[in-house]
Amino acid sequence: QEWPSVTSQDRDFTTNEDGSVDVHFGPEQPEDGHNWIQTVPGKSWWAMFRLYGPLAPWFDKTWQLPDIERLA
């Protein structure tokens, strides 16, 4: 991946039924191929979240971005 990222503008971007999004981090693309960010084995990386047009819950801190959770 030239620019390892996942955005809602991606052609193959998918959301879960509840509106949440699973992002896969790893050196190999998952079987479904969606929402994947390629990592390099043995190299460090960091996550960055960019929010456009935040609503009131962001500013009054009633919504917070959850931590990354290992799913598998």
Indicate whether 35 belongs to any domain.
yes
- Other Cβ atoms less than 10 A from the Cβ of 37: the count is 15
Q: What whole-number distance in Å separates Cα of residue 29 and Cα of residue 35?
A: 9
Indicate whether 32 belongs to any domain.
yes
Please tell me the predicted confidence (pLDDT) of residue 27.
92
For 32, residues 6+ apart whose C-beta sits below 8 A from its C-beta are: 14
Domain count, the chain: 1
* Sign of the dihedral defined by the CA atoms of residues 13, 17, 20, 24, in that order: negative
Ordered per-residue pLDDT tens for the chain, 72 residues = 778 889 888 888 999 999 988 999 999 988 887 899 999 999 999 888 888 899 999 999 999 988 988 876
Range of the domain at 44: 1-66
The token duo for 31 is 């079987």
Indicate whether 59 belongs to any domain.
yes
Indicate whether 72 belongs to any domain.
no
Please tell me the predicted confidence (pLDDT) of residue 33.
79
Indicate whether 71 belongs to any domain.
no
